[in-house]
Structure 1
């Protein structure tokens, strides 16, 4: 029962962290780390501790995680097993109640209905007591259906290195550059066409998974240019097919 209640606490905290704008996996990892007192110190943890609302969530998890799970477990065992009562019927009844309680807690911990209600409750609380603009960025960016956001480190042998964004024409492949993290420099948000990528840059890209994976593996030289042209042709073909489907749908509506 204590384990299931702990899972529920971590689950609610994960929802709250996701609503502040971080990924599901990062939120789940940081929530469990804070609740268990593991204390991982990573660059991802800095993103959590530098945000006021995320800091409050993590502090609450630390408090709840150290509230005395061992004491709660011992109290639970003593409440269900009375050593002075040797009646086996009462003992089996106590275990039956415990089993039923575990089934109910399992249902609540796995239920999508409960998950949706908890998500709405956490979102309302963040809007009510914080000035945070709550948004589910995973849904906002439509992550899914083949689309994703990745961080790609530019290496010296990459096709991207020492070339400006205008010359790369990544948008023709269906790839958007959201930002650039440059070592020893400020973060470049919404970079312009004249921005030149350098070795060591971390580029944040949005697009379809297969296109992004191809771009990550693309190397400098004629082979890389050929891969770029093929990706552009594939994107144009996909656009033409989409336009034809939309045209057919319009004609069917007219008929």
Structure 2
């Protein structure tokens, strides 16, 4: 009986994780990222990646993560208690089976297109009501398409861009935008078009990944080293 209890409880944990993954993906997270973060929060381990910042800065994900953290702490106590009392008959298997069945139904419903659509509308409403764009992580605020990225490019000596004006490099129609230039301790944002790029500068860019990679390769190709 004790082993059945543990198996059923692990089934509950697995269903909670998968339901959380569905909820996270409806807020815009990729499934692989959502599952990793859900497991990390539930087990209180590994929640240290750059992607973890996508959770606390988002009001809906923050609520889901709070539940997962609390559920994980509770689950640890339950599993330890079950192992300690593995020979006990009073394991309330009937109630556990009911909980497993309910979660299984929730998981199945969560996979249906209609439920996903309803939840997406609800999440979008919550986002508009509770979150200003200034509170979003930079990736979510600016990543409008799959191939869009925000990155930085360091300008080395003998780079093709060294000594060129910004307006000569970032021409109109090129799918890349210069957000600002970091020069030493100074961030240059005003009147960028007439600014001259210098070795040692770091350019913070936003735009199409391939265009930015091409720009980076052009920069590196002129370095004789």
Q: Name the counterpart of 1:69.
A: 75
Structure showing greater radius of gyration is 1
Q: Name the counterpart of 1:37.
A: 44
Gaps of 5+ in 2: 1-11
What is the deviation of 1:151? 1.0
Pick one of 6, 10, 15 that aligns with 1:4.
Answer: 15
Q: Name the counterpart of 1:143.
A: 145
For residues 22-52 of structure 1, give each alpha carbon's deviation from its aligned partner in whole angstroms, at most 9, with x where no partner exists: x758974666544432364566666866x59
Q: Name the counterpart of 1:206.
A: 207
What is the deviation of 1:187? 5.3
Gaps of 5+ in 1: 83-93, 224-255
1:116 paired to 2:135: no
Larger RCO: 1 or 2 (CA < 8 Å, sep 6+):
2
What is the deviation of 1:69? 1.8
Count of matched residue pairs: 198
What is the deviation of 1:183? 6.9
What is the deviation of 1:121? 1.8
1:39-118 correspondence runs (5 A): 40-41=47-48, 51=57, 53=59, 57=63, 60-61=66-67, 63-71=69-77, 78-80=91-93, 104-118=105-119
Q: Structure 1 176/26 Cα, relative in aligned 2: closer, same or farther at 3 Å? A: farther
> What's the TM-score, normalizing by structure 2?
0.57
Query: Distance in 1 between the 2:152 and 2:202 partners?
Result: 8
